[in-house]
Structure 1
């Protein structure tokens, strides 16, 4: 059985952007994750050691969000690499990283990048 774990709207204040002002002032960001893995053992045992610890995933995302980058694509790629390294049982990740109210000269709720990584 293939299972999915979803962590939605993880909120961070971070300093990502190509503009100098963005790197000084910062902005609000949201991260959404969908993790795909075989979780049959956890389903059977009810044991945290047999699944993917959500708190550890959040901590990995936070650590990468704390490191300033110019591009959302770069941050998103780092997050995916970090999670895949820590949890090799993950078969696929879909990550959406959104900058809220981006400074692009118009009324825009968010700008986002979506990356999908599959271990085929």
Structure 2
């Protein structure tokens, strides 16, 4: 068993319940972990035996371009898409999405949600 981890993906998106969040947008930081058996890939040096991290990044980027009221919903969509695209390989997926400088009545650097899903 092994993991591919994408750390600190920086993207911009329009997620939130407040009207200004849908027009102004915000910066987001995303961390992603995908656990699966990549023993064959590690022995054979064969990309077809693993999950390509370029594809994982593409999934995150595409889902970030679909507006959501809740980043919880966004996290669930990312996990579902990864599972759909890699049905036979994925054992466990975890995503952490942080909205940088959230529109709160206080001084908060970020608000994060963490969602994990295991088969």
With normalisation by structure 1, the TM-score equals 0.96
Structure 1 Cα separation of the partners of residues 105 and 7 of structure 2: 28
Output one character per residue of 1:71-114: Cα deviation in whole Å (capped at 9) or x when no partner: 01010000100011001211000110110010111111110000
Counterpart CA distance in 2 for 1:34 and 1:80 is: 10
How far, CA to CA, are the matches of 1:108 and 1:87 in structure 2? 36
Structure 1 segments, 4+ long, off by >3 Å, are none
Whole-angstrom distance in 1 between the partners of 2:30 and 2:98: 6
Give, in whole Å, the separation in 1 of the partners of 2:53 and 2:64: 16
Match of 1:75 in 2: 74
Please show how residues 99-114 of structure 1 align to structure 2 within 5 Å.
99-114=99-114
Q: Secondary structure at the residue paired with 1:93?
A: strand
Q: Distance in 1 between matches of 2:33 and 2:77?
A: 16
Is residue 38 of structure 1 aligned with residue 37 of structure 2?
Answer: yes
Aligned CA RMSD, in angstroms, stands at 0.6
* Aligned residues between the structures: 118
2:8 match: 9
Q: Secondary structure at the match of 2:57?
A: helix
Query: Structure 2: where are the runs of 5+ without partners?
Result: none
